[in-house]
Structure 1
């Protein structure tokens, strides 16, 4: 090629527009959808959201640098704590003197308005009242007038005992008594003439507590119903055999609060990053004397509660089926059902909902779906919505013929 031809070709090329990359539009929309879900979905590399964000098809032009380094990750999640004030109106400190010690129960409250119900929640072992924060926000989205009372059990969250006890009593009887005390003290502190209609919700250990209260009949007709989240007597007792192995495998502490939140998400203990940012801070305590990788330690020593594990769940299925009031069981898998509950389900004694895509913390992993089921459960059992026909005596008094 002559010098004249080369010059002509070079000049001609300079007039061509720069060739843009060709982007698959369907995949781009999928990427955007996955990015929007990051804040509320669990961090799961195998999930559909993660897959969508990694399969966007970009066909580069020949003049692009294929080996250029990306400028950071645009989808990096924050692990900052979310304050409880976004989910509840107030926190309560309810003091009670018992024998030789004083217990100050800590709870979060949003008061009901009018004739709306009060949803009362009890968390599982090692957790706290903030475990239900994301769920209660979704409940109030459907029932804005509903109230929420979410307590911290003794030895958990910010409930405190003075003087400190060497051996913490976490028997089912004691935890049941504590929850009854919290309800009564909340009624007095808020100036309620009587308790609102109640829907009790318990996760794991909390499920055993609310079932025990319902079976006792101590709240009378105030209980509309009770919901038990991912706990069944048979599978719970079987799982206790491997509990110590699980506790020995988890970290003894974390270098920061953010790393503790991240561990819960990465380990899939909690699959919803937003809920983890709300609930995990209440599980950890800053140790001034500790340094390095263990300055944030667990508030609750779960290994020390082993004495009470079996007592929490023995007889649970029988009590669940026999207690008065509407009954709802939410599970992460049907394999958790034992024989007694399978028979009860076939007889229509309770409502059952299974979320196979959730982990043990159903209410944290899928707060919106869980709330939909619980709100529907409440509406089916709401006595105030019933219109009963007049009694015969009332008709006769009105001078009408029967």
Structure 2
């Protein structure tokens, strides 16, 4: 090793700290080799055995070379790159989330068949489970609440769930499916509750929690305000709808409807569109709920790009839009029972609800990372809120504070003596 090379290495070593950090393995090996070479050179009298002196710019022991070499080191237990799974858009059957499918017929309306998805509450004489009754929004179906129903029962195994299709939607058929007025939908929901009770042989209703999304929120509030469920109604929850913002959104409804595809070649294509357009942000929920929104045309030819059409013509429901939501905030605040409002953003609150929220008249929960279908996009969070809402309002768990007179009454065996 030449004197120039030795001086370069010595100057380099002087600049190192007294207790340097442990270098990478490749640097340790290089330093040990250099140390051995220096010892050999010292023993041989400074000769390099005919090897040319290395250049500082090309020396592998330089800091630049060491930095570049450490970038190529692979972790010992690094996982090999996994191939990205292709998303699937195959439909999921309703049986994975409900135990029964009901087709209910009323003697008063023999031409009407109400369709619903149902899992009964656990019957217990001491602690019967509650019944969560859902009502979907315009254009949806009872399967919109499939994941929510499963999430509720996971948190509260004794609970039952009833998720009907309203008229003009899903598989419910009536003599006039075009009548979607608020009073008619509210009467239909009440009829389905009574028919379900008859189907199960209940002598009285279990404790009921009404849950409605969008249009369904207006329906459950209207039914709650009517008082026709009596003491069985514990409370009601409304999902992402308030009067002010709903009426404002009606003006852009036609623009939204015109932007939707008029049909799809298959159910999988319809599920994919709902997912990619972010209409539904939960692909699993889309695979459950979207098939009920579409129906195959009887005259569709093989390979028809629009063989599957929308089951409900939302544009034809325009005459009822304003009637669904006018007066919603007033009825929501005035009806008897616990009140829960779950929104996808605080900007949806109107003035009347803001005042009511500040007065503590209802519970407000905001889920900012979801879309309009809050119960489908975040079923676990929505279920946790509903179960906690039920537990706060259940009458069997309410503990009333003692009366003032009882607070000063001496306990048995205790006597007070005046001084």
Change (3 A) 1:76 1:344: same
Q: Which residue of structure 2 aligns with residue 279 of structure 1? A: 289
CA distance in 1, matches of 2:332, 2:413: 45
- How far apart are residue 28 of structure 1 and its match? 6.6
Matching of residues 41-80 of structure 1 within 5 Å: 74-80=84-90
Q: Which residue of structure 1 aligns with residue 223 of structure 2? A: 213
Q: Which residue of structure 1 aligns with residue 362 of structure 2? A: 350
TM-score by length of 2: 0.75
- How far apart are residue 309 of structure 1 and its match? 0.3
Find the partner of 1:204 among 197, 205, 214: 214
Aligned length: 332
CA distance in 2, matches of 1:348, 1:23: 58
CA distance in 1, matches of 2:78, 2:324: 49
Matching of residues 3-402 of structure 1 within 5 Å: 74-96=84-106, 102-113=111-122, 114=124, 115-162=128-175, 165=176, 168-291=178-301, 292-388=304-400
TM-score by length of 1: 0.78
Post-superposition Cα deviations, 1:168-198, rounded to whole Å, max 9, x if no partner, equal 1000000000000000000001101111000
Post-superposition Cα deviations, 1:339-392, rounded to whole Å, max 9, x if no partner, equal 000000000000000011000000000001111111111111111112457999
What secondary structure does 2:102 align onto?
A: strand
What secondary structure does 1:294 align onto?
A: coil
What secondary structure does 1:156 align onto?
A: coil
RMSD of Structure 2 on Structure 1 (CA): 2.6
CA distance in 1, matches of 2:88, 2:95: 19
CA distance in 2, matches of 1:24, 1:382: 55
Change (3 A) 1:346 1:190: same
CA distance in 1, matches of 2:377, 2:73: 37
Post-superposition Cα deviations, 1:64-113, rounded to whole Å, max 9, x if no partner, equal xxxxxxxxx632111111111111110110113567x7110000110001
CA distance in 1, matches of 2:77, 2:329: 49
Unaligned runs of 5+ in 2: 1-71, 406-411, 415-419
Structure with bigger RCO (C-alpha 8 Å, 6+ apart): 1
Unaligned runs of 5+ in 1: 1-20, 33-72, 393-398
Q: Which residue of structure 2 aligns with residue 396 of structure 1? A: none
CA distance in 1, matches of 2:151, 2:78: 31
What secondary structure does 2:295 align onto?
A: strand
1:97–1:103 Cα contact (<8 Å) kept:
no
CA distance in 2, matches of 1:352, 1:161: 36
CA distance in 2, matches of 1:238, 1:252: 25
- How far apart are residue 160 of structure 1 and its match? 1.2
What secondary structure does 1:199 align onto?
A: strand
